[in-house]
Amino acid sequence: MQIIIFLLMAGLTIFMLAYPLWQGGAAARPAPAPAATLSAGQCATCGRVLEPDERFCPQCGTPVGPRCPQCGRALVGDERFCPGCGAKLEGTR
């Protein structure tokens, strides 16, 4: 019985060490930064720095969405003023 437990534990250890290699290193890569820590000019998916006029991320293709014409901050709702710089947004969307 002890040999079976030993073999199971050894197999589990080998699996845990080899799993990132089987996945092409994907499990070993760090996850993208959470959207809350990204600046207004970064893609929420891959973290690439975006130009203010880009509507899609050139790296991963994620839609950027509407942005403030003054500071380039991403807008999420039906804001009338930019939460980043306070610019009036009426008539710009």
Structural contact between residues 52 and 41, judged by C-beta atoms closer than 8 angstroms: yes
What pLDDT shows up at residue 4? 92
pTM, 2 dp: 0.37
Closest CA to 74 of 54, 90, 88: 54
* pLDDT at 36 > cutoff 50: no
- Domain regions of the chain by residue span: 2-30, 31-93
What pLDDT shows up at residue 30? 62
What pLDDT shows up at residue 92? 52
* pLDDT at 54 > cutoff 50: yes
Average pLDDT, rounded, for the chain: 77
Percent helix, strand, coil in the chain, to 5, is 25, 10, 65
- Top pLDDT among 61 and 32 is at 61
